[in-house]
Amino acid sequence: MSQRNTTLANGEIIDAISRFLESPPEGTPDEIIEAFDLAGTREFLPPKLFLETVEQAPVAISITDSTARILYVNSAFERLSGYLRDEVIGQNESVLSSKSTPISVYQDLWETIKDKRVWHGTLVNHRKSREEYLAELIISPVFSANGQIAYYLGMHRDITEMHQLEQRLKFQKELTEAALDAVPMVVAMVDAERKVLMDNHAYKALLGDFRGVEPATLFLDALEQQLGFDLSNVCQVGKGFGNIDVRLDPPGGASPRWFACSGVRVAELDEAANNYFKQTGASRCCLLLIANEVTSSRRRINEARLNMIRANMAEQQMVQTMREAISGAIFKLQVPLNVIKAAISMPDGGSAKSSLREVLQQALESGNEAMDSLHGSLPSPTLEQTSTVNINEIVHEVIKLSTDRLLATGVVVDWRPTAVLPSLSGRANSLRGLFKYLIDNAIEAVNEAGRPYREVRLETREENHELVVEVMDNGSGIQQSQRIKAFEPFFCGWTHAGEHAGMGLTMAQEVAIGHGGSVEIDADFLGGCRVTVRLPVNGTEGG
Ligand code: FAD
């Protein structure tokens, strides 16, 4: 039977039902009239319209009995399966099975529908031509008046193409991920809320190195501090950035790591249904962050730089030592001169006293001359330009410069920098000098204490717009009575004063004050000493 004929036959059935309902034959049971009537004219649309709707529906529809024997199929079913309805009516739906669907799927299907529930799933079907296709199928039980399953309604569509597209998409995704994982650079896609949407192996490795702290956050913090880079602004302005060097300080005292960072703006796909027809211009965006590790080349450059700094600091140290020695001499000479001055100003008691006064006067004059020449020979402090400095970098350089001394004295350094610190406008050499004094003092203190385990711990952090550096040691500590005195010039509290001039903390404090900051000795620290340096982020240059 042709498709057209079948449609006519169905139409004839509907027409017959309509005619029957117009004048039901004498003696027709009321239930039958009621059943046709309810399904038709009164509460629902006419049966003819129902059938035509099902017949012309664009999805393949079949109605079976409770054993899946086909009773009805629509035109879309014929088109999709390639079978004419006469060829399948009376057959089991299994006529469509290509035998590639696992039996467990059918078991689940039957368990579900026999339990009077709707089954939704995918089967591998074949057409009459044996060509296979993927069928997305919904089977719904149709109940009789007594609640038993009378029929099953099956609706299916061909999703082969969609599946192919999905597979291609999956393949593309796997390919992209494999390529991303293979590259040595750190790659991450970050949304406007800094959430990492996608990353690669190198990123995950970095995440481990930073003990679970998202590297994307560290990079963005560093870029914000270095460039004033604002992630939300990138979405509006649409500009990325390229090859910006970022320094990250890993936890646990590991050496700093350097990355050349680039960022590319990528428009975020809007999944919201209500934005389906809207313009995507003002939509949100993500940032593709690419960070290429350049630590080894940076380390080589830093090594050369460190040598320069070492030479520079040695010179600075020499000048400083001379200044300290001469200042010490001035300080010491001032005492007898003051005594002489006081003696001269005492009332005159006779000629003998007068000649003594003369001698004293001469001694005072030659003393003053000596003082003038000492003042004249005092080397002037080196003037230094301010520049943008990274305190983590400065402290780390000083630790490296102190390596020989630390090794010789068996002191373990526990370096705990905050991964990203804002930079500061300051005098790098003076600041190096500041931390050198504090580290040297810490080494001296643990030496004097003579403990078997000698540790110096250095921590950096940002607190209330200040950069805080703490230098802690498990050495002899500073007595409460000496905490203020220790900052006085020429005060020396070491047991073995040796060549110490007692100017270290004075100079350290001078540098900190010159940067608008301070140096304090913690009164509550037990088991050693903790010196805290505070430097304002927007430091005022005091000279
Ligand atoms: P079988 O050996 O007949 O069945 C496989 C397993 O399915 C059995 O081991 C058993 O666990 C379960 N099973 C089969 N028949 C029954 C039953 N009557 N009662 C309880 N469990 C049973 N199949 C397709 O492959 N493609 C279709 O498009 C499709 N459409 C369907 C539409 C409707 C409305 C219904 C009710 C079923 C449909 N089926 C379809 C399922 C089909 O009837 C067969 O169960 C299936 O094709 C497996 O048949 P088989 O001969 O390969 O294996």
Q: What is the pTM of this model?
A: 0.57
Cα 59 to ligand 1 centre (Å)? 20
With a 6 Å cutoff on the Cβ, whether 103 touches ligand 1 is yes
Q: Which of 245, 299, 248, 206 is nearest to 418 (CA)?
A: 248
Question: Are residues 216 and 186 in contact, defined by beta-carbon separation less than 8 angstroms?
Answer: no
Q: Which of 71, 97, 100, 142 best tests ligand 1's pocket when mutated (most atoms within 8 Å of CB)?
A: 97
CA of 106 to the centre of ligand 1 (A): 6
Asked whether this chain's domains 3-158 and 169-293 adopt the same fold, the reply is yes
Grade residue 4 by pLDDT with cuts at 50, 70 and 90.
very low
Nearest atom (ligand 1) to Cα of 92: 43
Average pLDDT over residues 156-160: 97
Question: Could you tell me the pLDDT band of residue 15, with boundaries at 50, 70 and 90?
Answer: low
Listed by start position, the domains of the chain span 3-158, 169-293, 300-377, 387-536
Joined together, the tokens standing for residue 120 give 């939704």
Query: Structure tokens of 81?
Result: 């399966």
Measured in Å, residue 174 CA sits from the centre of ligand 1 at 35
Fold of 387-536: Heat Shock Protein 90 (3.30.565)
Instruction: State the distance from the centre of ligand 1 to the C-alpha of 103, rounded, in angstroms.
Output: 9
* 93 ligand 1 Cβ < 6 A: yes
Could you tell me the distance, in angstroms and rounded to a whole number, from the CA of residue 109 to the centre of ligand 1?
8
pLDDT given for residue 5 in this prediction:
39
Question: Ligand 1 atom 25: the closest Cα is on which residue?
Answer: 97
Mean pLDDT value across residues 17-40: 65
- Rounded Cα gap, residues 140 and 10, in angstroms: 23
Would the pLDDT of 407 be above 60? yes
Homologous superfamily of the 3-158 domain (CATH): PAS domain (3.30.450.20)
156 falls in which pLDDT band (50, 70, 90)?
A: very high
pLDDT (tens digit, 9 = 90+) per residue, 263-311? 988 877 777 787 777 755 556 788 899 999 999 999 898 888 888 888 8
Residue nearest to atom 7 of ligand 1 (CA): 106
> CATH: 3.40.980.10, 3.40.50.720, 3.30.450.20, 3.40.50.620. Which one for 169-293?
3.30.450.20
User: Could you tell me which residue, 390 or 498, shows the higher pLDDT?
Assistant: 390
Side chain identity, residue 135: A
Q: Which residues are CB-contacts of 82 (< 8 A; sequence separation ≥ 6)?
A: 127, 128, 129
pLDDT over threshold 60, residue 39: no
Mean pLDDT calculated for residue range 11-15: 58
**Mean pLDDT (whole number) for 424-444:** 91
